[in-house]
């Protein structure tokens, strides 16, 4: 049965749990995972002030996002295999150090190219923490414990984009836009100290794999053709891509269509976090009863139902909120469970598997946002089309796991 297959590592040595699943450890992993998402959206409220200070336009500042995402996507493809060969600790700490350096460059930037350069350095550093938070979880936990750990990690990654605009707006109002970079840099320092004291190295020397270029390419090729990985990984990536499309397209819907203020937009984004938070805690409990694969399928059906409702329903704020809540509930269920299913059979290649998963997620997000921008339709309709198409493809991909 499919459920049984997802709990058994076929052709790979399963790793037992090495650490107790404590709140402190989960908080540390969640912080490592969420740092990149936090650093991405926290500067949004400061864009007008940054544009004036740097002598540029708000539109031109969008380059700080595209450069960040490109560096983030490419960097993690190298971080994952390197951690499988040399261990997680030095890459996590080096990544956090690079992120702090990038944050300092951004804070002292006086021109847009300097700011973009700082964002690239930030991304190259923080991609390590995002990728390796999942790999470390795979090192330490197995089965239901892994699903619970990944649930909180996924909740943190989804919560950070929702809460960070409110936080960034407050910091910018009180201390100025440079302080937002100082804040995320200080957070990275705290995470580095805590990680070094609390965890250290989690990938044992006898479980490490080769790191030559042919070996890395071979590992990625094997993962891409292994249905145990690519089916759930592609499904999760399409779901995450649809979530990023929502974050990108919602401002036009809410501010232009429903006349939200910037502060109201921040409150709305923050409120969505509670739905994802609840779904993330619900998912492992349902998986304990029904199994990971069945629960993930249910989550996909729920998310697809919300997407279809958004596509065919009336353009009304109350209906928009209801349909979006259903979508977020399903998304919050399938994201951690699909990730756990994709990573479970690949303990020795957890770094490469997590890196490839992250690359697929960023790729699907970029495609979803680009297609949404190209559609000749109102933003409300375009969002419904993107969400419905992404979830339908995700459901089809996950069924291939059979």
Contact residues for 74 (Cβ-Cβ < 8 A; gap 6+): none
Give the model confidence (pLDDT) of 9-23 as tens digits.
Answer: 343 433 444 555 666
- With respect to residue 14, please indicate whether it lies within any of the assigned structural domains: no
Q: What CATH number is attached to the domain comprising 125?
A: 1.20.1250.20
4-8, 129-133, 227-231, 262-266: segment of lowest average pLDDT: 4-8
Give the model confidence (pLDDT) of 85-98 as tens digits.
Answer: 777 888 889 999 99
Helix segments in 199-261, DSSP class H = 213-225, 227-251
- With respect to residue 157, please indicate whether it lies within any of the assigned structural domains: yes
- With respect to residue 168, please indicate whether it lies within any of the assigned structural domains: yes
Range from 16-20, 80-84, 261-265 that averages highest in pLDDT: 80-84
- With respect to residue 3, please indicate whether it lies within any of the assigned structural domains: no
Above pLDDT 90, what percent of the chain?
A: 29
- With respect to residue 137, please indicate whether it lies within any of the assigned structural domains: yes
- With respect to residue 11, please indicate whether it lies within any of the assigned structural domains: no
Tokens for 58? Answer: 């708000």
Q: How far is CA 388 from CA 22, 217, 324, in A?
A: 37, 33, 12
pLDDT at position 13? 39
User: Is the confidence at residue 124, as pLDDT, over 60?
Assistant: yes
Do 231 and 400 meet the contact criterion of CB atoms below 8 Å apart? Answer: yes
Q: Which helix (H) or strand (E) holds 72?
A: helix 63-86
- With respect to residue 2, please indicate whether it lies within any of the assigned structural domains: no
What end-to-end distance do the CA atoms of the chain give, in Å? 8
Helix segments in 87-142, DSSP class H = 89-107, 112-140
Distance (Å, rounded) from C-alpha 97 to C-alpha 14?
32
Tokens for 262? Answer: 């910037």
- With respect to residue 150, please indicate whether it lies within any of the assigned structural domains: yes
Split into its structural domains, the chain has a count of 1
Q: How far is CA 208 from CA 6, 85, 205, 385, in A?
A: 23, 5, 5, 43
Residue 138: give the domain boundaries.
20-399
- DSSP secondary-structure letter at 15? P
pLDDT at position 149? 77
């Amino acid at each position: 049965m499919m459920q049984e297959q997802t709990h058994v590592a076929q052709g790979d040595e399963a790793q037992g749990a090495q650490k107790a699943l404590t709140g402190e450890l989960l908080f540390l992993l969640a912080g490592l995972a969420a740092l990149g998402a936090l650093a991405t959206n926290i500067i949004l409220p400061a864009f007008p002030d940054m544009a004036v200070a740097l002598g540029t336009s708000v539109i031109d500042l969008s380059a700080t996002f595209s450069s960040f995402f490109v560096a983030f996507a490419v960097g993690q493809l190298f971080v994952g295999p390197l951690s499988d060969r040399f261990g997680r600790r030095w890459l996590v700490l080096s990544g956090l150090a690079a992120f702090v350096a990038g944050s300092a460059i951004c804070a002292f930037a006086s021109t847009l190219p300097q700011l973009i350069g700082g964002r690239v350095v930030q991304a190259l550093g923080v991609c390590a923490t995002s990728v390796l938070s999942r790999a470390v979880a795979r090192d330490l936990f197995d089965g239901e414990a892994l699903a619970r750990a990944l649930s909180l990690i996924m909740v943190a990654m989804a919560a950070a984009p929702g809460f960070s605009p409110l936080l960034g707006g407050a910091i910018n109002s009180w201390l100025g836009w440079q302080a937002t970079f100082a804040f995320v840099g200080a957070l990275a320092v705290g995470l580095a100290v805590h990680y070094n004291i609390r965890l250290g190295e989690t990938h044992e020397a006898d479980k490490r794999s080769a790191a030559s270029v042919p070996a890395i390419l071979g590992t990625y090729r094997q993962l891409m053709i292994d249905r145990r990985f690519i089916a759930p990984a592609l499904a999760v990536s399409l779901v995450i891509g649809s979530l990023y499309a929502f974050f990108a397209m919602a401002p036009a819907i809410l501010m232009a269509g429903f006349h939200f203020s910037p502060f109201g937009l921040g409150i709305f984004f923050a409120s969505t976090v509670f739905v994802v938070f609840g779904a993330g805690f619900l998912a492992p409990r349902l998986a304990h009863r029904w199994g990971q694969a069945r629960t993930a399928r249910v989550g996909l059906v729920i998310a697809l139902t919300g997407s279809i409702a958004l596509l065919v329903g009336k353009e009304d704020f109350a209906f928009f909120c209801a349909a979006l809540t259903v979508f977020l509930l399903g998304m919050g269920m399938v994201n951690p469970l699909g990730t756990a299913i994709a990573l479970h059979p690949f303990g020795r290649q957890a770094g490469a598997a997590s890196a490839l998963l992250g690359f697929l997620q960023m790729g699907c997000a970029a495609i979803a946002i680009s297609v949404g921008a190209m559609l000749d339709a109102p933003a409300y309709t375009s969002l419904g089309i993107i969400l419905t198409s992404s979830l339908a493809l995700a459901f089809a991909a996950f069924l291939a796991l059979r």
